[in-house]
Amino acid sequence: MIEFRSVSKQFPDGTLAVDDFSLTLPSRQTTVLVGSSGSGKTTLLRMINRMVDPSSGTIEIDGADIAQLEPVPLRRGIGYVMQDSGLLPHRTVIDNVATVPLLRGVPRKKARAEALTLLDTVGLDQTLADRYPSQLSGGQQQRVGVARGLAVNPNILLMDEPFGAVDPIVRAELQQELIRLQSELGKTVVFVTHDIEEAFLLGDQVVILRDGGRIAQVGAPAEILANPADDFVASFVGADRGKRALHLERRGDSDLLLDSEGRLAGVLVEPRQTAHSPDPQAPR
Ligand SMILES: Nc1ncnc2c1ncn2[C@@H]1O[C@H](COP(=O)(O)OP(=O)(O)OP(=O)(O)O)[C@@H](O)[C@H]1O
């Protein structure tokens, strides 16, 4: 579990990127931070692995205040996947995936064997192992980026617009791949996007941000769709309602969450009926 408590970040030039942000991110679930450009998503993500330190407030991982942990080992134990894959251009695919395990002292042969297995995990043919990143498609590069993020077998996987730079078809494939991976691996995923459809597709918990990392609404996709907290959220989630991939429809006594082809993606359960399900905001 990751817990932000009254976290703010002001950069030296005075920009208040995050203003008093508090949130619990449950273990083994995907939390998606979604908001427009400059709303503080990347800053929030980078505070989890101490690439950025808060100006005030605390962040805990499983009860440990990360300000008390050494940044480098902390960072090496958390998977991080970025938009441009962040691969080292002069290293082969296999060496890119094995980089962090090697830095952590895993013997070379073992690190490479594990990296080969990870290529399978992310749906890449092992024959690509000896290519350089420039010899791969954008989608393949992103898969290598995900494999690299998983290489240290982290409990936490941070993903910063990982599918933002690929075309829509490849993007849809990568999204499905992540859903499959997550159902197998059960990581605590924190995913940043500015695409609300992607947020609803991938998120167990979706956090809609205004500027300054202020939370406009947090909840499961169906809850947000059914009860947008205010006009800001309503317009954010309904900007292209006509083409919406996921939408709610009332059938009899139930609110059903349907995809664009009318297939059932979920059933909305009223909060009062979920007394036994955990409240994602409740401290645990
Ligand atoms: N190193 C920095 N120094 C000063 N200001 C910064 C720095 N990094 C980010 N900011 C500012 O902090 C605010 C939040 O930035 P951040 O990158 O977290 O937003 P974001 O929601 O991830 O945006 P995007 O979707 O465009 O990536 C912005 O106003 C940005 O200009």
Q: Count other Cβ atoms within 10 Å, centred on residue 249.
A: 11
Q: How many Å lie between the centroid of ligand 1 and the Cα of residue 58?
A: 20
Give the Cα separation of 219 and 222 in Å (integer): 8
For ligand 1, say whether the CB of 96 is within 6 Å of any of its atoms. Answer: no
Ligand 1, atom nearest to 52 Cα: 1
Give the Cα separation of 198 and 178 in Å (integer): 11
Give the number of C-alpha atoms closer than 13 A to the C-alpha of residue 47, restricted to the C-beta side: 30
Q: What pLDDT is attached to residue 86?
A: 83
The pTM assigned to this predicted structure is 0.84
For ligand 1, say whether the CB of 214 is within 6 Å of any of its atoms. Answer: no
Give the Cα separation of 17 and 40 in Å (integer): 5
For ligand 1, say whether the CB of 40 is within 6 Å of any of its atoms. Answer: yes
**92, two tokens:** 């082969």
Pairing of strands 254-258, 264-268: antiparallel
The sheet that has 264-268: what strands, in order across it? Answer: 247-251, 254-258, 264-268
For ligand 1, say whether the CB of 53 is within 6 Å of any of its atoms. Answer: no
Give the Cα separation of 214 and 218 in Å (integer): 11
For ligand 1, say whether the CB of 15 is within 6 Å of any of its atoms. Answer: yes
Q: Count other Cβ atoms within 10 Å, centred on residue 101.
A: 22
Q: What pLDDT is attached to residue 225?
A: 87
pLDDT by residue (tens digit) across 95-109? 999 998 888 888 999
Q: What pLDDT is attached to residue 280?
A: 44
pLDDT by residue (tens digit) across 157-213? 999 999 887 888 888 888 998 999 899 889 999 999 999 989 999 999 999 999 999
Q: Count other Cβ atoms within 10 Å, centred on residue 282.
A: 8
ipTM of the complex, rounded to two decimals: 0.97
The sheet that has 156-160: what strands, in order across it? Answer: 79-81, 156-160, 188-193, 30-35, 205-210, 214-219
Give the Cα separation of 11 and 213 in Å (integer): 14
Question: By CB neighbour count within 10 A (0-12 exposed, 13-18 middle, 19+ buried), where does 215 fall?
Answer: middle
Pair 281, 24: CB distance under 8 Å = yes
